[in-house]
Amino acid sequence: MRIGAIFAIQQSTLFSVAYDNELMEFKRLFDLWISEIEYLENFFEENKDDLNSNFYGSISIEEAIERTRKQAIGFRKKFLQLIQEADPNKLQSIFRPLSNSSYQLKSLSKEKSKADWLRIYAVRISENTYVISRGAIKLTQTMNERPHLQAELQKLEITKRFLIENGLTDESDFGFFEFEP
Amino acid sequence: MKNQFLIENLNQLAQVDTTWMDDVTFYKNNRNWLDRSAKIALKILRTLRENKNKAHHPNSQKELADTMGVSPQYINKIAKGTENLTLETISRLENVLNVQLIELTNNYLITNTYEQIEFEGLFSFSSQQQIIEIMIMSQQEMANWSNQAGEYSYAMAA
């Protein structure tokens, strides 16, 4: 998988990559989460053990899909508000560093057990500039537990390489970030 | 600004895409039927999966399409949950899958006692199933009924 194109959600502040011949990730993710019921039904069916783990409590697939759509719709609306406010400083308030704790196991008591499982991953290249690499439904505590989440880490690396090829020199503000509601 | 060169480079390379903003507006303007379409799609998919587990028919989108005499592509569009379905299609799906996809609550009738009497006078129904049957009346029947029942036609079509 390679980056086929890059799109500006808002020039100079928020970009999104597109892989191969796919849609730009930012749009593709919301399409999947809001308008692809078949995808969601398959995803939660395949991951129903995670869904029924103690992490989120026991949730039916129907309820999980409803929550996902609701969360994604709110998520997208939040981005629109931020873009329309045209205040680049606001953007950094919604992304948080993807720290080691996202990869490593945390005790249940430290992890919020809420069903806000949507994640958008991005690379920060400057204080107020982010490049979205991918996103995921994160049903487990850490990213290393499931292949589809490990793939997100690889996408972040692919995006980093793309940015280096295009002139990334200063890594003092650089980092992997995630956006969660 | 750090990485100024890279950011300018990205500004030049990147195509500005605002189609996702159109999606927000579209959802806002069509929310009611989109949410219902998603729920119907989910019910269809869950029923097909259940049928598959029990070896019942139809148990795939292909079988459903064949039974209904429509293309698999059309069923696939319905399964995405963004199709603006007609009452006729919904009824056919309900019959083939033997499930109820839409349901009218009694709230309308309970909270509009006066209208309920008139409504019952017109159609003399006693169960939700009969309400659904009224909903799939032909356009001409609906027009006639609408003339008699005034604003109730909106409530039924909603």
- Domains with residue ranges and CATH for chain B: 16-84 (1.10.260), 107-157 (no CATH)
Whether the CB of A41 is below 8 Å from some CB of chain B: the reply is yes
**CB-based contact B109:B116 (threshold 8 Å):** yes
Per-residue pLDDT of chain A (181 residues; tens, 9 = 90+): 899 999 999 999 999 999 998 999 999 999 999 999 999 999 999 999 888 886 677 889 999 999 999 999 998 998 898 888 877 677 777 888 876 554 443 333 233 334 488 999 999 998 889 999 999 898 877 666 677 777 888 888 999 899 989 888 777 777 888 876 5
- Asked if B14 and A65 come within 8 Å (Cβ–Cβ), the reply is no
For residue A24, give the 3-state DSSP assignment. Answer: coil
Q: What percent of chain A has pLDDT over 70?
A: 85
Average pLDDT over residues B144-156: 46
Measured between CA atoms, the residue of chain A closest to residue B4 is: A126
The whole-angstrom separation of Cα A150 and Cα A144 is 6
Residues A111-163: tens digit of each pLDDT: 333 448 899 999 999 888 999 999 989 887 766 667 777 788 888 899 989 99
Test A41 with B23 for CB contact under 8 angstroms.
no
Interface of B with A (CB under 8 A): 1-3, 5-7, 9-11, 13-17, 19-21, 23-24, 27, 35, 38, 41-42, 45-46, 49, 76, 79-82
**Euclidean distance between CA atoms A129 and A159, whole angstroms:** 14
Is the pTM higher than 0.80? Answer: no
Q: Yes or no: say if A131 and A125 are a contact pair by the CB < 8 Å rule.
A: yes
Are the beta carbons of A129 and B7 closer than 8 angstroms? yes
Which residues lie closer than 8 Å to B124 by C-beta, 6 or more apart? none
Among B1, B49, B80, the residue with its CB nearest the CB of A36 is: B80
- Single-letter code of the amino acid located at B115: E
- Pick B9's closest partner by Cβ from A30, A45, A166: A166
In single-letter form, the type of residue at position A33 comes to W
Contacts of B81 in chain A (CB under 8 A): 35-38
Nearest CA in chain B to A129: B7
Taking an 8 Å cut-off on Cβ atoms, the answer to whether A6 and B27 are in contact is no
**B108 — pLDDT class (breaks 50, 70, 90):** low
Measured between CB atoms, does A105 come within 8 Å of chain B? no
State pLDDT tens for residues B1-48.
Answer: 678 889 999 999 999 999 999 999 999 999 999 999 999 999 999 999
* Chain A interface mutation, best of B4, B7, B9, highest count of A Cβ atoms under 10 Å: B7
Write the CB contacts of B46 (distance below 8 Å, at least 6 apart in sequence): A41, A61, A62
Interface test with B, best of A38, A77, A91, A159 (most B CBs within 10 A): A38
Residues of B in contact with A41 (CB under 8 A): 42, 45-46, 49
The b/e string for A55-86 (b: 16+ C-beta within 10 A; e otherwise) is bbeebebeebbbbbbebbbebbeebbebbeee
Sequential DSSP letters for B99-128: S------SHHHHH-HHHHHHHHHHH---SH
Give the residue extent of every domain in chain A: 3-179
Closest CA to B88 of B68, B65, B58, B112: B68
Contact residues on chain A for B5, CB-CB shorter than 8 A: 167, 169
Q: Cβ of A144 under 8 Å from any chain B Cβ?
A: no
DSSP string, A48-71: HHHHTSTTT----HHHHHHHHHHH
Residue of B5, B13, B41 lying closest to A6 (CB–CB): B13
**Cβ-defined contact of A5 to B15 (cutoff 8 Å):** yes
pLDDT of residue B73 exceeding 80: yes
Selection from A28, A130, A32 nearest residue B19 by Cα: A28
Closest by Cβ to B2, choosing from A16, A24, A173: A173
